[in-house]
Amino acid sequence: MSAAPLFEKVALIGFGLIGGSIARAAKAQGLAGEIVTTARSPKTRERVKELGIVDRVVDTNIEAVKDADLVILCIPVGACGPVAQEIGPHLKAGAIVSDVGSVKGAVVRDMAPHLPKGVHFVPAHPVAGTEHSGPDSGFAELFVNRWCILTPPEGTDRTAVEKLQAFWAAIGAKVEVMTPDHHDLVLAITSHLPHLIAYTIVGTADELEKVTSSEVMQFSASGFRDFTRIAASDPTMWRDVFLTNKDAVLEMLGTFNEDLSKLTRAIRRGDGDALFEHFTRTRAIRRGIIQLGQDSAAPDFGRSHASLPKPDGK
């Protein structure tokens, strides 16, 4: 006989890359007696029904959260406040409410006022993703060996935090707890600034006069193509990230600009030693990330390479 599931009813609001991956993983691990999903667009709801991963697809957020023990908002950060306001009066007493947003200060500020007493609010951010989006993009292994950061407000019920922690651990994640402000600063440098830079340079390359877009794409294997993967991420999600984590992003951008000026000056002056010193230092960070199991040591991220053509005349 299997053990009782961690939650009787789990409601997922939104079924994109993250919501869809949580659903697949929770199903695979038997973490919920029932998984109920909704999504804003009828087309997505229809697709989720076809996929047959969750137990029930319902038309409204209110219907979804009814009697749910765990409610996770898997929607863009900017939509979290209005949805909290909508579902607040319909939440079951003792329910845990969480989210998956990449920004935490704004989510706490927007959602907390709408959640009734007796409901446990435990914001979360699984630090995992791909450049794909939509209901078909998720997969059960997305969170394995990735971090999930919880940012419970002071005084949150400890049992509720531990239960959400157990949920994330069961779908493979390592869990860390920090304040929303510190989270937003850490993610500004590890995620938001890299995305902004990638979005910028891909846009720059697309608008040059002297080099055509087709040349840019053709010769992209020399570095550029890595940036295009990041700059292919979901536009709505990323718009919201920059609007809601403005201060931390602008702070990191200031430091980045100073550092870019220094390297630019070294190039302008032909200071090879300064360049060499800098380029040697950054290699060490890569090694650290690989040692921590956060990336593959295989060259080119382990991208596959096609075989050589058959030699002529053999």
* 9, 66 Cβ separation under 8 angstroms: no
What's the min distance (Å) between Cβ of 169 and a second copy?
A: 9
What's the min distance (Å) between Cβ of 43 and a second copy?
A: 19
What's the min distance (Å) between Cβ of 311 and a second copy?
A: 4
Read off the tokens for 278. Answer: 């800098």
Alpha helices by DSSP H, listed for 115-179, are: 158-170
Task: Give phi and psi for 22, each to the nearest 5.
Answer: -60, -45
What's the min distance (Å) between Cβ of 8 and a second copy?
A: 16
Nearer to a second copy, 63 or 219 (CB): 219
Nearer to a second copy, 38 or 233 (CB): 233
Nearer to a second copy, 62 or 147 (CB): 147
Read off the tokens for 76. Answer: 């863009």
**Strand, helix or coil for residue 116:** coil
Closest Cα partner for 200 from 240, 237, 242? 242
Read off the tokens for 112. Answer: 């907390």
Nearer to a second copy, 55 or 226 (CB): 226
What's the min distance (Å) between Cβ of 194 and a second copy?
A: 4
Distance CA 227, CA 295 (A): 16
CA angle 70–74–80, rounded 5-degree value: 95
Nearer to a second copy, 59 or 219 (CB): 219
Distance CA 203, CA 33 (A): 46
Residue that has been written with the tokens 């550092």 in this structure: 259
Nearer to a second copy, 92 or 256 (CB): 256
What's the min distance (Å) between Cβ of 91 and a second copy?
A: 27
